[in-house]
Amino acid sequence: MLNQKLNQVYETMGIDAKILSFCDTIEEELKGRFSEIDANAEYNQLKILKAMQKNYLSDTHFAATTGYGYNDLGRDTLESVYADIFNTEDALVRPQLVSGTHALTIALSGNLRPGDEILSPVGKPYDTLEGVIGITEAKGSLAEYGITYSQVDLLPDGGFDWEGIKAAVNSRTKLATIQRSKGYANRKTLSVEQIGSLITFLKTLKPDIICMVDNCYGEFVEITEPSDVGADMCVGSLIKNPGGGLAPIGGYIVGKKECVENAAYRLTAPGLGKEVGATLGLNQTLFQGLFLAPQVVAGALKGAVYAANIYERLGFSVLPDGKEDRYDIIQAITLNSPEAVIAFCQGIQAAAPVDSFVTPEPWAMPGYTNEVIMAAGAFVQGSSIELSADAPIKPPYTVFFQGGLTWHHAKYGILMSLQKLYEKGLIRL
């Protein structure tokens, strides 16, 4: 009776009965997989709760500070909580870190000096870092300060090119940047275990090399983090996984004390570092979002698994596939045409609680080399832990779907993406 009523509601919200029938069967098949995701979330929930209790979190830590932000107890406690969760010596968690790209920029520029070299042993980093590093010309890039860049691509099977990495490491190699998630690359996301193997190998080649992991989209997907397997720094955005959908802004850098301090001096000023930076009343939201994060990530993971199985069943290439283990919340779906990519993103937008009436179109977005279409009717602008999808408009026309503050909203988003493709005659059921 309840299922019948649910389907009636879905139909009133624009989902065809054929789509519901097709997807209900797949959802039923995934119940065992969803239970595994819930068990993982339970582990991470307890880890976060334990860290908050250990640091005696109190409502006094929610008080606002202004101006310089001296003696912001909430800010300092939040950073201690992050350090405990990620098993690191120190943490920098600030609203002044405006994005993941900004947090990575601060971590890099704080720990590199003229004459140093960055090595990416996992291929080209995400598009927005190209200007930061100087792969593409940009004002203020690290290249302008005499910092060079070296890259070793992954092997065709997605494995590490051990010999290539060995040849690339030299006396100037100061830092290795390891991007956990795939970005817009057609490769598998790296597991924490794989990252640990890579870090161990790099440290045997050069023990003092700084290993920095771009952890965006990967937090709380597994029960361990890259910092548990030797990463000197892990960096991410609070409007992705660890903000739990509540953080309105912010980023984090966790790791060795010296690395975090160097980043803090770059974020504020030499001699000031972590001692300043008002939180303006955001502490409660940042704590509460962190507390909810494992459950939010679990909902996003269920949505990603659901999407993979549905689109795979329809004959599309998906990465990861419907049965693979998950190491981030992103689901790549190759739709083979720009029309299908646009229809998919328009479906995700139509399913949003905010700006559902807006029709996204491709545009020349700053920091990207191709036109990009982005769908995100989010409570927090640009929050990709919320239901969202984006794609560069270029062959093979792959869309990247992620997020969903709840599993049921992620489910509706996938149903609506199918609906738009179905209406345009781009899929058959």
Does residue 49 fall inside a structural domain?
A: no
Residues 369 and 418 in one domain: yes
State mean pLDDT over 73-90: 98
Does residue 133 fall inside a structural domain?
A: yes
Residues 166 and 190 in one domain: yes
State mean pLDDT over 156-173: 97
What pLDDT shows up at residue 429? 86
Q: Which of 227, 257, 281 is the last residue of a domain?
A: 281
pTM: 0.96
Residues 414 and 309 in one domain: yes
Which stretch of DSSP H or E encloses residue 401? strand 398-402
Residues 36 and 71 in one domain: no
What pLDDT shows up at residue 370? 85
Q: Give the neighbor-by-neighbor strand order of the sheet with 90-94.
A: 90-94, 251-255, 233-237, 210-214, 173-179, 117-120, 148-151
The whole-angstrom separation of Cα 376 and Cα 389 is: 7
The pLDDT of residue 1 is above 80: no
What pLDDT shows up at residue 153? 97
Check if the beta carbon of residue 132 is closer than 8 Å to that of residue 104.
Answer: yes
User: What digits encode the pLDDT tens for the residues 340-357?
Assistant: 999 999 999 999 999 999
The pLDDT of residue 366 is above 90: no
What pLDDT shows up at residue 182? 87
The pLDDT of residue 58 is above 90: yes
Q: Which of 281, 310, 341 is the last residue of a domain?
A: 281
Residues 239 and 199 in one domain: yes
Q: What residues are paired with 318 via a beta bridge?
A: 333
Residues 302 and 276 in one domain: no
The pLDDT of residue 361 is above 90: yes
Residues 253 and 157 in one domain: yes
State mean pLDDT over 367-377: 87
Q: How far is CA 349 from CA 343, 355, 393, 415, 427, in A?
A: 10, 7, 17, 12, 19
User: What digits encode the pLDDT tens for the residues 201-233?
Assistant: 999 999 999 999 999 999 999 999 999 999 999
Does residue 58 fall inside a structural domain?
A: no
Nearest to 344 by CA among 428, 424, 408: 424
CB proximity list for 143: less than 8 A, separation 6 or greater: 133, 134, 149
Check if the beta carbon of residue 158 is closer than 8 Å to that of residue 191.
Answer: no
Check if the beta carbon of residue 349 is closer than 8 Å to that of residue 358.
Answer: yes
What pLDDT shows up at residue 4? 86
What backbone phi and psi angles, to 5 degrees, belong to 279? -100, -5
Q: Domain count for the chain, please give it.
A: 2
What pLDDT shows up at residue 368? 75
Structural domain that includes position 32:
2-44+291-423
User: What digits encode the pLDDT tens for the residues 257-302?
Assistant: 999 999 999 999 999 999 999 999 999 999 999 999 999 999 999 9
Give the CATH number, domain containing residue 320.
3.90.1150.60
Does residue 248 fall inside a structural domain?
A: yes
What pLDDT shows up at residue 388? 96
The pLDDT of residue 191 is above 80: yes
Residues 232 and 83 in one domain: yes
The pLDDT of residue 2 is above 80: no
What pLDDT shows up at residue 185? 81
Does residue 56 fall inside a structural domain?
A: no
Residues 230 and 209 in one domain: yes
What backbone phi and psi angles, to 5 degrees, belong to 326? -105, 140
Q: How far is CA 322 from CA 182, 203, 216, 332, 425, in A?
A: 17, 35, 22, 11, 24
The pLDDT of residue 256 is above 90: yes
What pLDDT shows up at residue 273? 97
What pLDDT shows up at residue 196? 98
Q: Which of 281, 314, 330 is the last residue of a domain?
A: 281
Mean pLDDT of the chain: 96
In single-letter form, the type of residue at position 295 comes to Q
The pLDDT of residue 315 is above 90: yes
Q: How far is CA 339 from CA 38, 335, 362, in A?
A: 36, 9, 11
DSSP annotation string for 283-326:
HHHHHHHHHHHHHHHHHHHHHHHHHHHHHHHTT-EEES-TTS--
Residues 34 and 176 in one domain: no
Matching residue, tokens 């899929």: 427
Q: In this structure, are strands 331-334 and 398-402 parallel, antiparallel, or unpaired?
A: antiparallel
Reported confidence tier of residue 312, pLDDT bands at 50, 70, 90: very high
The pLDDT of residue 365 is above 90: no
Does residue 303 fall inside a structural domain?
A: yes
